[in-house]
Amino acid sequence: MPVSAASSQLVYEGLKDCGIRLLSVLPETWLVHLVSLAEADPDMTLVRLAKEEEGVGVSVGAHLAGVRSAMLMQNHGLLASVNGIVSLAQLYRVPLLMLVSYRGGFGEEHPWQTEGGGATEDLLRALRIPYLLLARADEVAARLRQALTLAEASLRPVALLLCRDLMWEE
């Protein structure tokens, strides 16, 4: 499978270095290695969701309980989580670190991913969610730290978009 194992490892190590102890996940192809890494880690609580919006609730609960968490999902999961993000994380001023695989951009071969790809960044801007594109392996650790720092300082959601150049080896 051409999902990058090396980049997945880097992202996972970055999350661990940030002190993330709970990951709520609905997997997609690009995220399979990350899910396996969390599964194999006895110090990580992996929360498997039925729908991504639940993850907003889980992360809000974990934060209020004093545990750092992150959400791992596809951009279509971000689309499916909008009311939770707005009416829970933003309304209640809770930091929310969202790692979102950015499907449907340049190089996307699956027709069903393309509409969501076109809406992703406009949606993040409309929700006033600060985001960065994560496309290079050498940026992963620093960007994760910066995203978490901003989320915790602003008490708001922050997103990192995991791009094809990082996650897919062609």
Partner 1 sequence: MLRLEAMREIYPLLAERVVVTNMGAAPAELFSLGHRPGFFYVEHSMGLASSVALGIALARPELEVVTLDGDGSVLMNLGTFTTLARHRPPNLLHVVFDNEVLLSVGRSFSTATATGSDLAAIAAAAGVPRTGTYRTTANLAAACREALAARELAVLVAKVEPVGPASYLIDLHLLENRFQFERHLRSLPRAEAGGALAAGHAENQEPTGGRP
Binding mask 38-77 for partner 1 (x = CB under 8 A): -x--xxxxxxxxxx-xxxxxxxxxxxxxxx-x----x-xx
Using the contact rule CB under 8 A, the part of the chain among 5-13, 22-30, 146-154, 162-170 near partner 1 is 22-30
Closer CB to partner 1, residue 52 or residue 165?
Answer: 52
Indicate the residue type of 16.
K
Alpha helix positions (H), 52-157: 52-64, 75-79, 82-84, 114-126, 140-154
Sign of dihedral through CA atoms 40, 75, 99, 49? negative
CA 99 to chain centre: 1
Q: Whats the size of the chain, residue-wise? A: 170
* Footprint of partner 1 on 73-112 (CB under 8 A): 74, 76-77, 83-84, 87-88, 91-94
Q: Is-contact 97 70, C-beta < 8 A?
A: yes
Closer CB to partner 1, residue 7 or residue 90?
Answer: 90
Closer CB to partner 1, residue 46 or residue 135?
Answer: 46
Q: Is-contact 160 131, C-beta < 8 A?
A: yes
Position 19 contacts partner 1 (CB under 8 A): no
Binding residues (CB under 8 A) for partner 1: these are 21-22, 24, 26-29, 35, 39, 42-51, 53-67, 69, 74, 76-77, 83-84, 87-88, 91-94
